[in-house]
Amino acid sequence: MPAAVVVGAGVGGLAVAGALAQRDWNVTLLERGDRLRADHAALLLWPSALAALHRLGLGPGLAEISTPVTARGIRRPDGQWLVRQDDPAAGGEQPVVVHREDLHDALVAGLSGRIEIRTGIAVRVVRTATSQAPAVSDGATTWEADLVVGADGVDSVVRRRLAPEASVVSAGCTAWRAVIPWYRATDLVEKLDRLSTGGTGGETVGSGHRFRYALLGHRGSAGTSTRGGVYWTATVPGAARPESPIAQLALLRRWFADWHTPIGDLIAATDPDELIQHPVTELWPVPRAFAFHAGRGGYALLGDAAHAMAHHLSTGAGLALEDAAALAEAMRGVTAGPSLINALDGYSQARRPAVARIVRQSRRVGAVLASTRGSARTRDAALGLTPGLVGRASSALRNLRRT
């Protein structure tokens, strides 16, 4: 029976560990944190990511933890429409929003008894000799397997050893995320329902600034997240702020003070301990491959470890799930030796070109969104001509992926 070590227990790591175990692999899951957990933000998942969850065997129950997202288009800070879509459900794919903790719970529930979970493990050493079996170590214990999967995020130790040409670079902006829980968001949800005129999300673009929100609904209501509430993200040019969350919220209120309703209401309703700040980084260039040979097997990279990109297209978690599904399917029925090596090559050849195109498009979108006040007219024209680059018009995103 083949053996795999998965490094990292994020969305992609949990998904691929569970899927490999379902395909009769012995799996060891190594997590740096002291326990398996998710943050209290939310994720946007496009239909391709939902299809990946079904391929991974995680489709049942998905409707109960997700909420379809529709939006009428993109607004300017004064509330005027930059891009208007009269029927947000027409002519394309519809994404859903899901609370990270709900998705995390579903992924953990998909883990079988065949998986050994080790927490508090910080991988420091990656064996790179091609004549030896792939292995990783924390300096005290070494885990050797036929396959090692690097799912350890943008700062991946596995990737740094295997593909040092890919560097982590700043995208020139910082993002804040929060979920206002359902029990404090009842009035907001009703207000947003009225303001959205049929949509369940909104997006506004200013001079390098961006604000998005999506309704998670009420706890326990049909077809919505079991945690519910309102999810929002704000993106601002510049480096991460060193101030406390209380001070960061004050800055956000000031930066978005003159933006249209309900942006100020959402920021004002957020508690400091609900605010998550993260500098937006990306990998550049994309690693030359997503799989590497070692001994009778090798290594595979997935998710942010393989192709971290700025969040402009809201595809990060979805691409990790697509990677996990593709890798698990490639590993079905293989054994150590030529079949495993061929499967690794097939995974890399299938995933890397498509992902590299999306990474390039994400960088182009970032350049448009970063336009200064002096070039706002150019930015608005670009967004108006290509609404799918940043909006919820999923048919345009589908076309984007084909370019």
For residues 311-321, give the mean pLDDT: 91
Res 92: pLDDT: 52
Which tops the pLDDT comparison, 80 or 91?
A: 80
- The residue assigned the tokens 């992926």 is 401
CA 71 – CA 236 distance, rounded (Å): 22
Phi first, then psi, for residue 44 (nearest 5°) are: -100, 130
Residue 80 pLDDT > 70: yes
Which pLDDT band holds residue 366 (cuts at 50, 70, 90)? Answer: confident
Most confidently modeled of 11-20, 52-61, 104-113? Answer: 11-20
Most confidently modeled of 77-86, 135-144, 361-370? Answer: 135-144
Inter-residue contact 89 to 245 (CB < 8 Å): no
Per mean pLDDT, which range of 31-40, 173-182, 189-198 is the poorest? 189-198
CA 84 – CA 88 distance, rounded (Å): 9
Instruction: Tell me the two tokens of residue 173.
Output: 């902006």
Percent of the chain whose pLDDT exceeds 70: 84
- Give the count of domains, the chain: 1
Per-residue H/E/C for the chain? CCEEEEECCCHHHHHHHHHHHHCCCEEEEEECCCCCCCCCCEEEECHHHHHHHHHCCCCCCHHHHEEECCCCEEECCCCCEEEECCCCCCCCCCCEEEEHHHHHHHHHHCCCCCEEEEECCCCCEECCCCCCCCEEECCCCEEECCEEEECCCCCCHHHHHHCCCCEEEEEEEEEEEEEECHHHHHHHHHHHHHHHCCCCEEEEECCCCEEEEEEEECCCCCCCCCCCEEEEEEEEECCCCCCCHHHHHHHHHHHCCCCCCCHHHHHHCCCHHHCEEEEEEEEECCCCCCEEEECCEEEEECCHHHHCCCHHHCCHHHHHHHHHHHHHHHCCCCCCCHHHHHHHHHHHHHHHHHHHHHHHHHHHHHHHHCCCHHHHHHHHHHHHHCHHHCCCCHHHHHHHHHC
189 belongs to a structural domain: no
Residue 390 pLDDT > 50: no
Res 228: pLDDT: 78
Based on its alpha-carbon atoms, the radius of gyration of the chain, rounded to whole angstroms, reads 21
- Chain mean pLDDT for the chain: 86
Residue 219 pLDDT > 90: no
For residues 250-277, give the mean pLDDT: 95
Res 368: pLDDT: 75
CA 121 – CA 206 distance, rounded (Å): 42
Task: Tell me how far the alpha carbon of residue 232 is from its chain's centroid.
Answer: 15
Instruction: Tell me the two tokens of residue 78.
Output: 């004064």
Which tops the pLDDT comparison, 237 or 366?
A: 237
pLDDT digits (tens, 9 = 90+) for 140-182: 999 999 999 999 999 999 999 999 999 999 999 999 999 998 8
For residues 375-400, give the mean pLDDT: 43
286 belongs to a structural domain: yes
Res 131: pLDDT: 92
Instruction: Tell me the two tokens of residue 279.
Output: 């500098």
Residue 341 pLDDT > 70: yes
Domain CATH code at residue 308: 3.50.50.60
Which tops the pLDDT comparison, 82 or 283?
A: 283
For residues 358-369, give the mean pLDDT: 83
For residues 7-20, give the mean pLDDT: 97
Residue 377 pLDDT > 90: no
Which tops the pLDDT comparison, 41 or 373?
A: 41
145 belongs to a structural domain: yes
Range of the domain at 351: 3-70+95-167+282-371
Res 167: pLDDT: 95
Per mean pLDDT, which range of 53-57, 59-63, 119-123, 235-239 is the poorest? 59-63
Phi first, then psi, for residue 353 (nearest 5°) are: -60, -45
352 belongs to a structural domain: yes
Residue 61 pLDDT > 50: yes
Res 113: pLDDT: 79
Res 78: pLDDT: 94
Which tops the pLDDT comparison, 39 or 294?
A: 294
Distances (CA, A) of 135 to 124, 193, 367, 374: 11, 52, 39, 53
Res 187: pLDDT: 76
198 belongs to a structural domain: no
Instruction: Count CB atoms within 10 A of the CB of residue 207.
Output: 15
Which tops the pLDDT comparison, 311 or 379?
A: 311
Q: How big is the CA angle at 260 (ends 254 and 263), to the nearest 5 degrees?
A: 60
Residues 6+ apart with CB under 8 A from 235: 173, 174, 175, 176, 209, 210, 211, 280, 311, 369
400 belongs to a structural domain: no
Which pLDDT band holds residue 312 (cuts at 50, 70, 90)? Answer: confident
User: Pseudo-torsion of CA 101, 396, 319, 326, nearest 10°?
Assistant: 130
Res 397: pLDDT: 34
Residues 6+ apart with CB under 8 A from 194: none
pLDDT digits (tens, 9 = 90+) for 81-118: 887 765 544 445 678 999 999 999 999 998 987 899 99
The overall pTM is greater than 0.75: yes
Distances (CA, A) of 133 to 1, 129, 220, 232, 401: 15, 8, 48, 45, 36
Nearest CA among 100, 19, 24 for reference residue 56:
19
Inter-residue contact 266 to 252 (CB < 8 Å): no
CA 281 – CA 275 distance, rounded (Å): 19
211 belongs to a structural domain: no
346 belongs to a structural domain: yes
Which pLDDT band holds residue 9 (cuts at 50, 70, 90)? Answer: very high
